[in-house]
């Protein structure tokens, strides 16, 4: 009795046992005339969560019934294999060629970190979900990876950036046609609570839709205040997004932010940002073509090549989710501190920032997820090593300054590399010197000034760079620009 109260949330798929009833509706509450169409409802006696295509519901009691002792034995046997991490990664989207590190990153996202709640001590909650962004050339199977993950996870939602609105992702208020009361309908992010929300065409989202993600990706909640309904919904969802470059082809001379035109405040919330580029190399093309042809025509040897069964992979992830809760060991804690300090040290020697506290939190989550892959309740040094390697590989691709070839995390966190910022300051300083060298002239011609600074500079100066330098000097109350005239203050 009362066992099933509040056990189903929006987004659950259920089998219902009950009595189907039809009730007459009065035309007017004060008149006994009834409408010709009856209102139907089900008196629920029992319900059960269901969806064979996806992972089973990840709740502790269900887990006991889901896995027979024989199945648990098989999963534990698998977890003891030394190459289990590589096996699981290769079982993930086997039709997609190479991209091993990306598959490993997505695998760790499926396992997730350990959820920590220190609200009672005033330290708040810590996010356990890992967010991943895939960006790169069209036709590099980004959408295929997203579709694969969507079909694998429980409570997964798949949405496209162009076809999503802010309310479609969060929640919207509508009037119930029968009772005329306002009710809250939840969107994709809330429905994928405890799952993964796959967002394709991430770069084509409009600004208002994208701004919704800031709170979800860091605080894991969604605050709503609409039409008298004020509430905070859980959105403990991992986000797997795919974005294409603005110019259709990835431009190696530009930074990640310039290529995909996404705000740096959003990019810094992703734990891993991977580039999926077309290498344009003949040997690679030949191997890829061989792999694609083999998918259509497989010889007997290739058929016998052992990939992990999809059902085993689903059960493995579901079992790890429900039973394994890794905690940091002393050794792992020390390794994480060392890794973070080393990352900071690399940047500080060149006047760059190569790590922020967010990067340390990402490392912790990745290390916990790697421990879950091994069914270990303790995070050890090997987990930290793999987390460090994967994080470094992702940073090498996404946070490298194209001008210097050095990793500069401030590209993702502030939208500008340290060298670009330094260059802007130097240009503003040079412009100031040039103006002062002309003596006490109250006004200067814009075009003449632009040509003078270009003539004496070693580097090519664009109009945008020149305008930014003028803006910087205007902010310092050194000059004002009116039309095509520059006036000194």
Q: Which CATH number characterizes residue 460's domain?
A: 1.10.10.10
What are the pLDDT digits (tens) for 146-194? 888 888 887 788 888 777 777 788 887 888 776 677 777 888 888 888 8
In a domain, 456, yes or no: yes
In a domain, 338, yes or no: no
pLDDT (average), residues 221-246: 82
Distance CA 86, CA 92 (A): 10
What are the pLDDT digits (tens) for 21-31? 998 888 887 88
What are the pLDDT digits (tens) for 63-108? 445 677 888 888 888 888 888 888 888 888 777 777 788 888 888 8
Give the best-scoring range by mean pLDDT among 231-240, 292-301, 377-386. 377-386
Q: Reduced to 3 states, what is the DSSP secondary structure of residue 144? A: helix
* Residue range of the domain that includes 472: 418-488
Q: Reduced to 3 states, what is the DSSP secondary structure of residue 34? A: strand
DSSP β-bridge partners for residue 232: 223
Inter-helix orientation angle 84-91/357-373, to 10°: 100
In a domain, 22, yes or no: yes
Pairing label, strands 238-243, 196-200: parallel
Nearest Cα residue to 188 out of 169, 171, 163, 205: 169
Q: How many domains does the chain have?
A: 2
Q: Rounded to 5 degrees, what are φ and ψ at 460? A: -70, 125
What is the 3-state composition of the chain as percent helix, strand, coil, each rounded to the nearest 5? 45, 20, 35
Model pTM? 0.75
In a domain, 152, yes or no: no
What pLDDT was estimated at residue 19? 94
What pLDDT was estimated at residue 21? 92
pLDDT (average), residues 459-476: 77
DSSP 407: B
What pLDDT was estimated at residue 18? 93
DSSP β-bridge partners for residue 173: 184
In a domain, 168, yes or no: no
Q: Rounded to 5 degrees, what are φ and ψ at 48? A: -140, 135
């Amino acid at each position: 009795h009362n066992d099933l109260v509040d056990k189903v949330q929006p987004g659950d798929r259920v089998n219902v046992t009950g009595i189907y009833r039809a009730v007459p509706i009065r035309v007017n509450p004060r008149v006994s005339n009834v409408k010709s169409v009856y209102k139907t409802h089900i008196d629920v006696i029992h319900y059960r969560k269901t969806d064979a295509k996806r992972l089973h519901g990840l709740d502790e009691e269900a887990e006991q019934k889901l896995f027979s002792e024989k199945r648990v034995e098989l999963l534990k046997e698998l977890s003891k294999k030394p190459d289990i991490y590589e096996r699981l990664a290769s079982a993930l989207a086997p039709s997609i060629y190479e991209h091993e590190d990306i598959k490993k990153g997505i695998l760790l996202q499926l396992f997730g970190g350990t959820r920590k709640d220190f609200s009672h001590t005033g330290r708040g909650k810590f996010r356990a979900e890992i967010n991943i962004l895939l960006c790169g050339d069209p036709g590099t199977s980004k959408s295929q990876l997203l579709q694969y993950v969507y079909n694998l996870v429980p409570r997964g939602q798949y949405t496209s950036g162009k076809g999503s609105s802010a309310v479609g992702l969060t929640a919207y208020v509508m009037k119930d046609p029968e009772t005329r009361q306002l009710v809250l309908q939840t969107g994709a992010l809330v429905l994928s609570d405890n799952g993964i929300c796959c967002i394709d065409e991430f770069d084509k989202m409009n600004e208002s839709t994208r701004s919704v993600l800031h709170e979800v990706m860091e605080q894991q909640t969604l605050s709503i205040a609409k039409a008298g309904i004020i509430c905070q919904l859980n959105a403990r969802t991992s986000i797997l997004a795919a974005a294409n470059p603005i110019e259709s082809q990835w431009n190696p001379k530009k930074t990640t932010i310039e290529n995909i035109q996404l705000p740096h405040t959003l990019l810094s919330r992703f734990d891993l940002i991977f580039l999926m580029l077309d290498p344009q190399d003949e040997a690679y093309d030949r191997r890829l073509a061989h792999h694609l042809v083999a998918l259509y025509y497989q010889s007997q040897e290739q058929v016998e090549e052992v990939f992990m069964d999809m059902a085993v992979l689903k059960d493995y992830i579901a079992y790890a989710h429900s039973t394994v809760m890794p905690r940091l060991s002393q050794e792992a804690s020390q390794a994480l501190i060392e890794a973070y300090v080393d990352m900071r040290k690399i940047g500080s020697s060149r006047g760059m920032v190569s790590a922020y506290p967010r990067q340390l939190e990402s490392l912790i989550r990745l290390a916990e997820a790697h421990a879950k892959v091994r069914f270990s309740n303790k995070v050890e040094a090997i987990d930290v090593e793999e987390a460090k390697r994967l994080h470094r590989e992702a940073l090498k691709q996404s946070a490298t300054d194209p001008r210097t070839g050095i990793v500069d995390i401030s590209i993702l966190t502030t939208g500008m590399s340290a060298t670009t910022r330094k260059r802007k300051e130097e240009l503003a300083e040079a412009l100031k010197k040039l103006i002062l060298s002309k003596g006490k002239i109250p006004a200067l011609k814009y075009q003449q000034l632009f040509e003078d600074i270009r003539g004496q500079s070693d580097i090519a100066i664009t109009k945008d760079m020149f305008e930014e330098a003028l803006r910087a000097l205007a902010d310092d109350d050194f000059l004002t620009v009116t039309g095509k005239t520059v006036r000194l203050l």
